[in-house]
Amino acid sequence: MVTGDAAYIKKINRSFLISKIIEHGLVSRAELSKITGLNKATISVQVADLLNEELIVETQQEHNNLGRRPIMLSLNRKAGFALGIDLDYKQITFTLSDLLGFPLSSETISLNTSDYENVLELLVENIQSFQEKCSNSQYGIVGIVIGIHGIVTEDEIIHFVPQHNWHNKNLKLDIKAKTGIAPHIKNNANLCAFAEQVYNHHESENLLCVSLYSGIGLGIMINGELYEGYHGYAGEMGHMIIVPNGKPCNCGNKGCWEQYASESIFFKQLSEKQNKTDITYLDIQNWINDPDAIISQEMNDYIEYLSIGLNNIINLYNPETIVLNSELLKMHPESINEIKARLTSSVSHFEELLVSEFGKEACVMGACSLAIKNFLEIPELKLNIEEEDIPKIAVDVPTWR
């Protein structure tokens, strides 16, 4: 039983109402009362407050029946903006969304340095530019979330980024000192999982998202919440050993999963076998379409090792939904069927296995939606946008370590 003083109960009711207004898009006061079970007096007080704060707006719905047209409520999507940032190895992507998670602009800048101070300067410069652009709105930028391709602690300190060789960097504090906004710092795989749940799989409370680019990261949603582990290190499944005494890994072990099933390793091995140093995704697509004997064997091996790791994860978590974030798998039309054919264990159970529609955009979309959820202080967030509205981020060739 939830107990608390009047202010606490009011806050709970407020967050519940906002969630339902977002979920239903347009909804009347009477409908809100039915949906939430709250009485009309409570609805009226809460709605009045939200209207005064300009978080919601009223519109009169057209109808052909006699009587007064119903007044509908919806979220004021332009009251503020969320900024999602994907801090990758060779590029930084900035995506600005409205309060319904609709992306308004997306910019990608090349990153030719791993020097922390230089990267910090680039981040601050671009964040300040977005702050200025959004200054005329009621709330401006309501939140910033940055996705890190590395290990982030529970208190949002960057513990280790292999590609940049960063250790124990307090990016959150450094950005706040220069912009006045303290961004949330999250692991990119966690943001990918959050995006899948918020935008595409509303009813899936137990969801795993496996990102397969420069390494392998696992985003975990359990009972509708991100699971980050005791210190925030959960999901580093790329360092699960699948080949005893196998290929050496930067983590210090041998035979780690990402040494066999990450796209960066795929590119490295294919480059050696094709004797070509500048292989692109377009090259691979052309070889898949031909087909090419070398690419066929490499894809077969890649899917074999990928399936071994997935089998372990499925047995560990028993997920409802598994989303694979991979450009390679999107190019290979039979990839999901081939993976499923290898998941033959009678104890491996899951409901759905699919390739992400977001691809490289998943991190920034998850970052924007998490910023919105934090700002509105709501228990759950369900957003809907069309695939063609998702900003397309240029996909660089993964860099192997």
| pLDDT above 50 for 1 | no
Q: Residue 362 in contact with residue 192, Cβ under 8 Å?
A: yes
| pLDDT above 70 for 364 | yes
- Which stretches does DSSP call E strand in 76-140? 81-87, 91-97, 103-110
Tell me the sheet residues that pair with 254.
248
pLDDT band at 401 (very low <50, low <70, confident <90, very high): very low
Q: Of the candidates 162, 79, 88, 157, which has an alpha carbon nearest to the alpha carbon of residue 122? A: 88
| pLDDT above 50 for 203 | yes
pTM, two decimal places: 0.89
Q: How far apart are CA 144 and CA 371, in angstroms?
A: 6
| pLDDT above 80 for 237 | yes
Q: Are strands 91-97 and 71-75 parallel, antiparallel or unpaired?
A: unpaired
| pLDDT above 80 for 385 | no
| pLDDT above 50 for 101 | yes
* Least confident window among 1-15, 41-55, 315-329: 1-15
| pLDDT above 70 for 113 | yes
Cα first-last separation, the chain: 52
DSSP state of 253: -
Q: Once rounded to an integer, what is the mean pLDDT over residues 185-210?
A: 94
pLDDT at 344: 86
pLDDT band at 387 (very low <50, low <70, confident <90, very high): low
Question: Which tokens sit at 98?
Answer: 């409205």
Torsional sign, CA 319, 321, 326, 329: positive
Q: Of the candidates 192, 198, 213, which has an alpha carbon nearest to the alpha carbon of residue 329? A: 213
| pLDDT above 60 for 395 | no
pLDDT at 63: 58
| pLDDT above 80 for 64 | no
Q: Name all contacts of 138-142 with Cβ < 8 Å and 24+ positions apart.
A: 138/54, 138/76, 138/79, 138/80, 139/79, 139/80, 139/375, 140/80, 140/81, 141/80, 141/81, 141/82, 141/83, 141/181, 142/80, 142/81, 142/82, 142/99, 142/371, 142/372, 142/375
Locate the domains of the chain by residue range: 6-75, 81-192+361-389, 203-359
Express each pLDDT in 242-261 by its tens digit.
999 999 988 889 999 999 99
Looking at domain 203-359, its CATH class is alpha beta
| pLDDT above 60 for 161 | yes
pLDDT at 210: 96
Percentage of the chain beyond pLDDT 90 is 70
Burial of 252 (0-12, 13-18, 19+ CB in 10 A): exposed
Q: How far apart are CA 125 and CA 377, in angstroms?
A: 28
| pLDDT above 50 for 363 | yes
pLDDT at 93: 95
Q: Of the candidates 193, 210, 206, 192, which has an alpha carbon nearest to the alpha carbon of residue 339? A: 210
Residues 6 or more apart whose Cβ sits within 8 Å of residue 116: 164, 166, 169
pLDDT at 377: 94
| pLDDT above 80 for 394 | no
Express each pLDDT in 135-144 by its tens digit.
999 999 999 9
pLDDT at 400: 38
| pLDDT above 80 for 60 | no
61 or 360, which is more confident: 360
pLDDT at 5: 76
Residue labelled with tokens 């990839």: 335
Residues 6 or more apart whose Cβ sits within 8 Å of residue 291: none
Q: Are strands 71-75 and 27-28 parallel, antiparallel or unpaired?
A: antiparallel
CATH topology of domain 6-75: Arc Repressor Mutant, subunit A (1.10.10)
Q: Once rounded to an integer, what is the mean pLDDT over residues 67-86?
A: 90
Question: For residue 49, how many other CB atoms are within 10 A of its CB?
Answer: 14
Q: How far apart are CA 38 and CA 320, in angstroms?
A: 32
* Least confident window among 91-95, 189-193, 284-288: 284-288
pLDDT at 89: 83
3-state secondary structure of 153: coil
Q: How far apart are CA 401 and CA 398, in angstroms?
A: 10
| pLDDT above 60 for 398 | no
Domains 81-192+361-389 and 203-359 share a fold: yes
* Least confident window among 228-237, 354-363, 383-392: 383-392
Sheet harboring 91-97: ordered strands across?
A: 103-110, 91-97, 81-87, 141-148, 184-187
pLDDT band at 399 (very low <50, low <70, confident <90, very high): very low
Express each pLDDT in 4-29 by its tens digit.
578 888 899 999 999 999 999 899 99
Q: Across the chain, what does the average pLDDT equal?
A: 90
| pLDDT above 90 for 157 | yes
| pLDDT above 80 for 116 | yes
pLDDT at 255: 96
Q: Domain 81-192+361-389 in CATH: superfamily?
A: ATPase, nucleotide binding domain (3.30.420.40)
Q: Once rounded to an integer, what is the mean pLDDT over residues 231-237?
A: 87
